[in-house]
Amino acid sequence: MIHHRSAWRNRWTFMLATAGSAIGLGNIWKLPYMIGVNGGSAFVLVFIASILFVGIPLMMTEILLGRRAQRNPLNGMEFLAAEARVSPKWKLLGGMGMLTGLLILSFYSVIGGWVLSFIFDAASGTFTGIEAAQSTSNFKNLLASPFTLLFWHTVFMYLTMGVVARGVNSGLERANNILIPALFAILLILLGYSMSEGDMRSAFHFMFSFDFSKITPVAVLSALGHAFFSLSLGMGAVMVYGSYLQRNVSIARTTIYIALADTMLGLLVGLAIYSLVFANNLAPDAGPGLIFQTLPIAFGHMPAGRLIATLFFMLVAFAAWSSAISLVEPTIAWVVENTKISRKTSTSILGFAVWLLGVSVVLSFNEWQHIKVIFGLNIFETLDKLTSTILLPLGGLLMAIFAGYFMKKYHVQEELNLEDRGFKYWRIANNYIAPVAISAVFLYLFGLVK
């Protein structure tokens, strides 16, 4: 039952929206600290390779599935399975993706909340002259206060759902048209600042000296997993965005632009962060606290640090916000296309459900810290690991298999519309490289290969 379906106004707004989905906490919060804890340049190299050989082809796959289906992920997979004359059970893949998005949002929103609270901290001068001990306790205190976390988590959910409720054109499209250019403008300011005030040389050396001896299996695994997370692959966000895309747009070309923007932004932010960190003699391997504990110390001791810190956390917030909306859109599209419930009502209901799950994430940083779900992981860690190391790669693997081995080859070619050589590259990557790489990660994870 498809009534009127929305569509992006043009190729450009699709690119902004998909780049908006891709560029998020994954680039600015996770990637830099992962580079730090995984030994710097070796990790960067594997990450770039993962983007090129697995990320880009699979993003093309996900867009082509969405655009061909012209439906939400669940009905879309059902439609494509019927077209390929294979089991309708493939729709479960769409359903799994929708669920994955909601699980990610429940903790994404809590971290987004930290970022919002840091905008205010930065603007009010909390970091001015701050020393390491103070900065650590500032961050620890935030995590230890359920009510403060809850407040900001609620604000973040409200902002996210507010955009989604307005629909594709006046919500998603409009928000991304403002947020993404603003984000790049702030990035330029930040880069200029860290070039003049920071230690770019050391940062560059740290990230790009390509020391092969530092490549470990764990670094490879987390780099590949992070390529999925960073490009928003494997859960239907890109699929649903692709389903609003016009037929005449080249999937390969737009994908390359989006992936480049995402990767470049992550690496440039990494350079900016590390140049400030090194200029202040701080440690690069602080882990998740890198931008919340280490970076404020750097800002606190630099000229115009208060202004730049405020802009920096605004950049992070914009990036997180435009990603968060893509985590719910697949499910909302499904509700709107299958029921009589309006977009507004369904966003409120779904928003409340995800918010509630988020409350348990909030508590897992304080009151419920000691509650372990599996393998000694608390609620937040379980949701994070379950989604980024298992559900996203699994979703991506199944999408690649479906497009590569179940869909009719000429249907795929109709969507990709590539010349022979390009099509061959895509097929090799989609049918062999990506499935082998992802399966290797799974085998390793489940301890079959040590």
Which residue ranges make up the site for ligand PHE (CB under 6 A)? Answer: 21-22, 24-27, 104, 229-230, 232, 235, 237, 323, 326-327
* Beta carbon nearer to ligand PHE, 323 or 389: 323
Contact between residue 125 and residue 306 where contact means Cβ atoms under 8 Å apart: yes
* Beta carbon nearer to ligand PHE, 305 or 330: 330
* Beta carbon nearer to ligand PHE, 60 or 327: 327
Whole-angstrom distance, CA of residue 338 vs CA of residue 349:
16
- 120: its two tokens: 């205010």
- Concatenate the DSSP letters of all residues of 167-197 into one string: HIIIIIIHHHHHHHHHHHHHHHHHHHHHHHH
Whole-angstrom distance, CA of residue 310 vs CA of residue 307:
5
Contact between residue 11 and residue 246 where contact means Cβ atoms under 8 Å apart: yes
Q: In angstroms, what is the minimal distance from the CB of 191 to ligand PHE?
A: 19
* Beta carbon nearer to ligand PHE, 193 or 321: 321
- 205: its two tokens: 């050396």
Whole-angstrom distance, CA of residue 243 vs CA of residue 5:
9
377, β-bridge pairs: 374
Q: What is the DSSP letter of 287?
A: G
Q: Could you tell me which of 390, 396, 404 has the C-alpha nearest to residue 445? A: 390
CA 156 from centroid of its chain's CA atoms: 16
Q: In angstroms, what is the minimal distance from the CB of 41 to ligand PHE?
A: 21
* Beta carbon nearer to ligand PHE, 58 or 235: 235
Q: In angstroms, what is the minimal distance from the CB of 393 to ligand PHE?
A: 12
Q: How many residues does the chain have?
A: 450
* Beta carbon nearer to ligand PHE, 27 or 360: 27
Q: In angstroms, what is the minimal distance from the CB of 327 to ligand PHE?
A: 5
- 155: its two tokens: 């604000």
* Beta carbon nearer to ligand PHE, 149 or 235: 235
Whole-angstrom distance, CA of residue 303 vs CA of residue 291:
18
Q: In angstroms, what is the minimal distance from the CB of 319 to ligand PHE?
A: 7
Q: In angstroms, what is the minimal distance from the CB of 226 to ligand PHE?
A: 9
* Beta carbon nearer to ligand PHE, 24 or 66: 24
Whole-angstrom distance, CA of residue 7 vs CA of residue 258:
19
Cα-based distances in Å from 312 to 116, 211, 212:
11, 30, 32
Cα-based distances in Å from 119 to 69, 124, 188, 246:
41, 9, 18, 38
* Beta carbon nearer to ligand PHE, 279 or 400: 400
Q: In angstroms, what is the minimal distance from the CB of 230 to ligand PHE?
A: 5
Q: In angstroms, what is the minimal distance from the CB of 88 to ligand PHE?
A: 25
Q: In angstroms, what is the minimal distance from the CB of 116 to ligand PHE?
A: 15
